[in-house]
């Protein structure tokens, strides 16, 4: 019974609400605010990169390499880069800080990578945050870091020592039980 009364109340509200003219519910001030936001969106900067990825190919462990990501403000408003954050401490970006890039102007973000103690395949990113239409862009690079033979020998020896210690500890636990 209660369920039937509730359904009847909901249906009567729905029919009553549908009879009203929807345009009467729209506030004029909200229309003006929406129009201003639409107009502002037309004048946003757009950050267009020449590339979003770079492949260093094969480099030697310990090499310091860098690449440039060139961009152009292809939008209609001034562009400001707020930050460029690397995914790892071995990656250092530099960008035009505190600089306004006007529509049509270009600049660059330089990304340096230190391959010390980073053997084998590496993939890193830099997240660029700006006032552009697309707030963040992710720049990527990769490299195969050929291990330094001497450093690799040291890493292998340490790994063998850790493995021997773990096996000795496991054997000790077995003997005490």
Residue 155 lies in a domain: no
pTM of the model: 0.70
Residue 146 covered by a domain = yes
In a domain, 84, yes or no: yes
Return all residues near 138 (Cβ < 8 A) that are at least 6 apart.
52, 125, 126, 127, 128
For 124-174, what is each residue's pLDDT tens digit?
999 999 999 999 999 999 999 999 999 888 988 999 999 989 988 888 887
The parent domain of residue 122 ranges over 49-150
Model confidence over 74-112: pLDDT tens digits? 999 999 999 999 999 999 999 999 999 999 999 999 999
Task: Of 116, 73, 72, give the one whose Cα is nearest residue 92.
Answer: 116
**Residue 61 vs residue 20, higher pLDDT:** 61
Domain membership of residue 53 (yes or no) is yes
Q: What is the CATH number of the domain that holds 145?
A: 2.60.40.10
Is 33 inside a domain boundary? Answer: no
Flag whether 171 is in a domain: no
Contact present, 104 and 131 (Cβ < 8 Å): no
Q: Is residue 163 part of a domain?
A: no
Would you say residue 58 lies in a domain?
yes
Beta strands 100-101 and 120-130, pairing class: unpaired
Total number of domains constituting the chain: 1
């Amino acid at each position: 019974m209660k369920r039937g009364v509730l359904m009847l109340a909901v249906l009567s509200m729905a029919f009553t609400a549908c009879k009203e003219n929807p345009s009467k519910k729209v506030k004029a001030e909200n229309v003006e605010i929406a129009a201003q936001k639409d107009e502002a969106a037309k004048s946003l900067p757009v950050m267009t990169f020449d590339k979003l990825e770079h492949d260093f190919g094969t480099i030697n462990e310990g090499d310091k390499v860098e690449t440039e990501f060139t961009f152009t403000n292809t939008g209609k408003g001034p562009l400001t880069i707020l930050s460029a954050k690397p995914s790892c401490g071995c990656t250092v970006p530099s960008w035009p800080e505190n600089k306004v890039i006007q529509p049509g102007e270009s600049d660059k973000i330089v990304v340096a990578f230190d391959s010390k103690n980073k053997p084998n395949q590496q993939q890193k990113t830099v997240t660029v945050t700006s006032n552009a239409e697309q707030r963040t862009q992710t720049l990527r690079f990769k490299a195969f870091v050929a291990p330094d033979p001497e450093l690799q020998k040291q890493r292998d020896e340490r790994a063998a020592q850790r493995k021997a210690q773990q096996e000795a500890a496991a054997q000790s636990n077995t003997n005490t039980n």
